[in-house]
Amino acid sequence: MPDERPATSGTAPADAEQWLRGEARSVHRHLRWIVGCAAVTGLLTIAQALLLATACQRLIMEKSAPAAIIPLAVLLLVLAAGRGMVAIVLEQRSAAAAARIKQSIRNRLYRKLQSLGPAGLVGHESAPLAETVTTGVDELEPYITRFLPQAVLAALLPCLFLLVVLPAEWRAGLVLLFSAPFIPLFMVLIGRGSERLHRRLWERLSRMAGHLLDLVQGLPDLLIFGAVKHQAAAVARISADYRIATMAVLRVAFLSALALEFFATVGTAVVAVIIGFRLLWGVLSLQEGLFVLLLAPEFYLPLRSLGLSYHARLQGAAAAERIAPLLYRPLPAGFEGTLPAATTPPAVTFENVSFRYGGSRGGVREITLILPAGGITALAGESGAGKTTLARLLAGLVRPEAGRILIDGRDLNECAPASWHARLAWVPQAPYFTAATIRENLLLGSPDADEAEIAAALEAASAASFIARLPQGLDTRLGDRGAGLSGGELKRLALARACLRRAVLLILDEPTAGLDADNERLVCQALQRLAGKRTVLLISHREATLACADRVVELVDGRIDRGGER
């Protein structure tokens, strides 16, 4: 089931790995099964080694008939089947733990990002965020399902094997005991350099994701200006840098594996030499010697597995350093309101509102403005004058650094964000449409709207005529970003979707940009039909569109030009 816990709040932990270990508690039941199954596998291994050594003793030393060891062979097959069943359970539990932890963290990340909104994500680019939610969460899986169980098993199973080996051959047991610490020691020493490489690799991956997203979004412009080959060469350079960084991590991983295998092999070889001499001198039976020799590689196996999974720890820790700060990122001020939003067209008042992007550029300054209830107020001005910023402030996507916004005399910060967003509709300059039917796109914001409401919204938005001409009508399937309809048709479809929202505040950002005169006239007619029951904020620089407004306010360099009002 999806994790229903609220988005994480509070103070971020100083150690991201500590947070990650805390997250593992949510799947502690699965982890106990993993550790338990591995421990049972260890016991079965001991039993198999003992049975095999006993069989060899009877066949070789005691010259028993082959029929005498048939019960031992049957029991060996039963134990092997048991180990196979335990391995299946182990895989299932590991997969269940991985799926649950990834679903939990990813759901909470989604909800946290939605709660933060654009105001809370200033300074975060979309591509690295997407990389964190996808690849970053996947990187946590090996840490929880491999490294943590292996850390427990590395402490448990070698001790279990030692308890069995020491009574049989204490000299070999001492060799195992004193050689074992070298494996985790070299694992940590080599891992220190690898940790820095993992962080650098993650940074390169985020940088590459951001660059590729910029290229995809700007591909039409690159084609027009003939810069495709140049950017292809840049992508090749970035990919080569990432490949070199990946190979650096792999070199360290192989070096670590070589060191682990070397000490495990040397330890096993020394045990074999001791067993060989003890057998030669006749002070050790074949059963005891073979039993110890079979267990020697199994003694090192949990330590070697821990060393190999140590890189999973480094990957998980590097990903946790990106994920934990996002989950604990505080919500922007003013997002804690609880009062319900207005249900009738509101009167909006901006009182000395100021906001700057990044604290130094763009934005608006000391804006004092009244939007009358049920009227159309237009914002005019050159690009970069602050029109869209003012609309974002009204929508609650960003919060004023100074001043306040009043809705029917009540501070917008006191309204519950979900309630306020449910009462407004935003039509951006480039409305977004998914690769789905027209009906499904219209119902994105109002899934419970019926056919009569859809027909009324299409009529109000001057969209009913072109929908009727389509072969499949509302069931016509659009391509990505609305491919299949013209720009004017998409704008009118966006207005119809806004009308279905039953919103009391309508924000329109350049609704007629890029349209011909006929489409602009149809959109303006739709705006006039939508007004009255809604307070409308219209952003445009086209005179024919501004003529639809009851009042036009001009912005110049983030301030209202009182001489330009009309």
Last residue of a domain, one of 293, 327, 361: 327
**How high is the pLDDT of residue 79?**
87
422 domain residue, yes or no: yes
Residue 382 sits in the same domain as residue 502:
yes
Backbone angles phi, psi at 371, to 5 degrees: -105, 110
Reduced to 3 states (helix: H, G, I; strand: E, B; else coil), residue 532 is coil
pLDDT in tens, the chain (566 residues): 445 454 555 555 556 677 777 777 777 777 778 778 878 888 888 888 888 888 888 888 888 888 878 888 888 899 888 888 887 887 787 778 878 888 888 888 888 887 776 666 666 667 677 777 887 788 888 887 778 777 777 888 888 888 888 888 888 888 888 888 777 777 666 666 666 666 677 677 777 777 777 777 777 777 777 777 888 888 888 888 878 877 877 777 777 777 777 878 888 888 888 888 888 887 888 888 888 888 888 888 888 777 777 777 777 777 787 888 888 877 666 556 666 666 788 888 888 888 877 655 567 888 888 888 888 888 888 877 788 888 888 887 778 888 888 888 888 888 877 778 888 888 887 788 888 888 888 888 788 888 888 888 888 777 888 888 888 888 888 877 777 788 778 888 888 888 888 788 888 888 777 667 777 777 777 777 777 778 888 888 778 778 888 888 888 887 887 655 55
**How high is the pLDDT of residue 90?**
77
Which residues are within 8 A (CB) of 127 and not within 5 positions of it... i.e. 6 or more apart? 206, 209, 210, 211, 212, 213, 214
- How is 84-119 classified by DSSP, letter by letter? HHHHHHHHHHHHHHHHHHHHHHHHHHHHHHHHHHHH
**How high is the pLDDT of residue 6?**
46
**How high is the pLDDT of residue 4?**
45
Last residue of a domain, one of 294, 327, 360: 327
Residue 415 sits in the same domain as residue 527:
yes
C-alpha distances (whole Å) from 175 to each of 166, 328, 524 are 10, 48, 88
Residue 173 sits in the same domain as residue 282:
yes
Q: Which domain holds residue 545?
A: 348-564
Residue 148 sits in the same domain as residue 81:
yes
355 domain residue, yes or no: yes
Instruction: Write out 280-328 in H/E/C secondary structure.
Output: HCCCCCHHHHHHHHHHHHHHHHHHHHHHHHHHHHHHHHHHHHHHHHHHC
What whole-number distance in Å separates Cα of residue 166 and Cα of residue 262? 23
Q: Edge-to-edge strands of the sheet including 559-560? A: 424-427, 505-509, 535-539, 376-380, 551-556, 559-560
Residue 411 sits in the same domain as residue 530:
yes
User: Beta-carbon neighbour count of residue 80 at 10 Å?
Assistant: 12
Residue 289 sits in the same domain as residue 374:
no
Residue 386 sits in the same domain as residue 311:
no
CA 360 to chain centre: 30
Residue 411 sits in the same domain as residue 516:
yes
Backbone angles phi, psi at 370, to 5 degrees: -120, 130
Secondary structure element (H or E) that encloses residue 83, with its range: helix 70-120
Q: Return the closest-CA partner of residue 125 out of 203, 66, 200, 57.
A: 203
337 domain residue, yes or no: no
4 domain residue, yes or no: no
**How high is the pLDDT of residue 185?**
74
Residue 186 sits in the same domain as residue 151:
yes
Give just the sign of the alpha carbon dihedral 135, 141, 146, 152: positive
**How high is the pLDDT of residue 33?**
80
CATH number at residue 545: 3.40.50.300
8 domain residue, yes or no: no
What whole-number distance in Å separates Cα of residue 424 and Cα of residue 395? 8
What whole-number distance in Å separates Cα of residue 38 and Cα of residue 302? 10
CATH number at residue 307: 1.20.1560.10
Q: Say if residues 509 and 391 touch (Cβ distance below 8 Å).
A: yes
Which residues are within 8 A (CB) of 113 and not within 5 positions of it... i.e. 6 or more apart? 121, 129, 133, 326
> Given the DSSP bridges, would you call strands 402-407 and 410-411 parallel, antiparallel or unpaired?
antiparallel
Residue 164 sits in the same domain as residue 224:
yes
333 domain residue, yes or no: no
Q: Say if residues 406 and 348 touch (Cβ distance below 8 Å).
A: yes
Q: Indicate the number of domains in the chain.
A: 2
Residue spans of alpha helices (H) in 423-486 = 438-442, 451-460, 464-469
23 domain residue, yes or no: yes
Instruction: Write out 261-293 in H/E/C secondary structure.
Output: HHHHHHHHHHHHHHHHHHHHCCCCCHHHHHHHH
Residue 91 sits in the same domain as residue 32:
yes
Last residue of a domain, one of 327, 359, 391: 327
Which residues are within 8 A (CB) of 227 and not within 5 positions of it... i.e. 6 or more apart? none
Q: Say if residues 57 and 286 touch (Cβ distance below 8 Å).
A: yes
193 domain residue, yes or no: yes
Residue 31 sits in the same domain as residue 87:
yes
Reduced to 3 states (helix: H, G, I; strand: E, B; else coil), residue 125 is coil
Residue 140, beta-bridge partner list: none
